[in-house]
Amino acid sequence: MTRPSLLILSFSPIASDARVLKQVRLFADRYDVTTCGYGPAPEGVVRHLQVPDEAVYWRKDPLALLTFRHRTVLARNAAIAAARHLLAGLSFDVVLADDVDAVPLALEVAPRLASGRAAVHADLHEYAPAQNEEVLRWRIFVAPYVRWLLRRFVTQAASVTTVAPGIAEAYRREHDLDASVVVNAAPYVEREPGPVGDPLRLVHTGAGLRGRRLEIMIDAVRLTRADVTLDLVLTPNDPEYVAELRTQAASVPGVTVHDPVPYAEVNRILARHDVGVFVLPPVNRNYANALPNKLFDFVQARLGIIVGPGPEMARLVREHGLGAVASANTAEALAAALDAVTPDDVARWKAASHAAARALSAEEQSGAWARAVDAIAAAPR
């Protein structure tokens, strides 16, 4: 029996993009999956179309942006042009477009359904109009273009998902888009919680971005009376900033900034620790409503978790008894939270992560993707 064909279109290095890889793994057993994006082919696909690295998706024609000629911005985007060339002559039953920039091209290559919608599922990873809203020029010139993409293109998709309930609500309230939620859960790992260390071993993994204020966690270790170590495993998104963090860490005993590791190695590295930490000042709406993949990585490594008071992260931690919520996104508040932790607390948190690991796994949390894509594949044309 012929399997339906699915294009997963993402302007990211798909083989190392955790969220997109989950989509590939979810559908590869039931669909003939073609991927189109940067970098090498991920495992499990029947075809990969590699967008050249020099065709940068986020680089937009500045004059067209400044004069609000949004069609020209789209027409001159090098990544879309390169992907369009790679996709010429190909057809698919369903297209899964990752993030707002991929949706216009997805509509071009997807068939139309009898409903009038396109056979496209749009997975909007974040709240796109607020991606860099802390930057004035972005708010003035780029945000209107993103809102245009949502109005003109995303509304034509058959279905939409995003990463957190608060972001889904913003899409409903501000753009009349009915988005389901697929959190950035990690694949289930069969693992037992490890013993609590002495000193307590803290860990943070993720992007080395200045806007995340990662120095707060280093300062908290300097301030706390608790006996702790902190390992920061960071990707060099901003190499100058990561270098600054290394210099700061060198002055605080027990703090080390490590080079990144492949995603397949993350669980093993995390499991050497006791507590995953993340405080994130809400400099934009995406940060304010963040529910990042690292929290789910911490669960699969059977760690306790300490986070700042962001509503989505705090809700997850409290609902499952996974750890503690600091009173503010500051070094002082995180240090106070660390001062209050006992080994018995951490043992209890690790056990709670173990109890929740199956329910919070990618296998259990990806149902909205499966339902949406299967519905599009089955819909009359």
Crossing angle, helix 165-175 and helix 143-152, to 10 degrees?
Answer: 80
Burial class (CB in 10 A: 0-12, 13-18, 19+), 203: buried
Q: DSSP character for 361?
A: S
Q: Measured between alpha carbons, how far is 37 from 12 in angstroms, rounded to an integer?
A: 6
Tell me whether the CATH fold assigned to 5-182+366-378 matches the one assigned to 200-356: yes
What's the token pair of residue 194?
């490890």
CA dihedral of residues 233, 234, 235, 240 (deg, nearest 10): -140
Please state the separation of Cα 245 from the chain's center in Å. 23
5-182+366-378: CATH number: 3.40.50.2000
CB-hemisphere CA count at 13 Å for 242?
17
Q: pLDDT tens, position by position, for the chain (381 residues)? A: 689 999 999 999 999 888 999 999 999 999 999 999 999 999 999 999 999 999 999 999 999 999 999 999 999 999 999 999 999 999 999 999 999 999 999 999 999 999 999 999 999 999 999 988 989 999 999 999 999 999 999 999 999 999 999 999 999 999 999 999 999 999 999 999 999 999 999 999 999 999 999 999 999 999 999 999 999 999 999 999 999 999 999 999 999 999 999 888 999 999 999 999 999 999 999 999 999 999 999 999 999 999 999 999 999 999 999 999 999 999 999 999 999 999 999 999 999 999 999 999 999 999 999 999 999 999 999
Instruction: Please report the pLDDT score of residue 268 as a whole number.
Output: 96
Instruction: Please report the pLDDT score of residue 290 as a whole number.
Output: 93
284 Rama sector, left if φ>0, alpha if ψ -120 to 50, beta otherwise: beta
Instruction: Please report the pLDDT score of residue 179 as a whole number.
Output: 96
Domain extents in the chain: 5-182+366-378, 200-356
Instruction: Please report the pLDDT score of residue 262 as a whole number.
Output: 85
CB-hemisphere CA count at 13 Å for 81?
13
For the four alpha carbons of 233, 235, 237 and 238, in that order, the dihedral sign comes to positive
pLDDT tens, position by position, 29-53: 999 999 999 999 999 999 999 999 9
Instruction: Please report the pLDDT score of residue 7 as a whole number.
Output: 98
Q: DSSP character for 4?
A: P
Q: Measured between alpha carbons, how far is 322 from 354 in angstroms, rounded to an integer?
A: 9
200-356: CATH number: 3.40.50.2000
Q: Tell me the helix, strand and coil percentages in the chain, rounded to 5.
A: 45, 20, 35
